[in-house]
Amino acid sequence: MNTHALARSAYGNPSTVQKSPRSAEYEVISRVTARLRSALRDRTTDFPGLVAALNDNRRLWVALATDIATPGNALPVPLRASILSLAQFTLRQTEIMLAEKNAQGDVLVEINLAILRGLSGKEAVT
């Protein structure tokens, strides 16, 4: 393998287009949501998997809340307030789910899907 091929394999293709911050957010939220949806479906046989998925979702929402709270965030104030309210609800619901094994978690998936719809600009995300 020559040095050009080694560099390409190590650093990737330089002509590859980088993702926009919006598409990167979409990808992360989509991945967390898929994992949460799967964990909710398998919760009776894999409660530790549900705990891990809930923790990932919690970390996502803490990151979103932290981001919208930064002074340089360009989102409109009403949207930032709405996202913060969703973050607070999500964190409370997560605590309920961790305390009560039978608590419903579908609302967490629905909230994430609503955020994905907003990021994509599409009507429906499944």
Residue ranges per structural domain of the chain = 20-120
Report the sign of the C-alpha dihedral through residues 98, 104, 109, 115, in that order. negative
Per residue in 27-60, pLDDT tens? Answer: 999 999 999 999 999 988 999 999 999 999 999 9
Model confidence, pTM: 0.79
* Architecture, CATH, for domain 20-120: Up-down Bundle (1.20)
User: Tokens for 41?
Assistant: 């479906």
Per residue in 69-81, pLDDT tens? Answer: 998 999 999 999 9
SS3 string, 14-39, reads CCCCCCCHHHHHHHHHHHHHHHHHHH
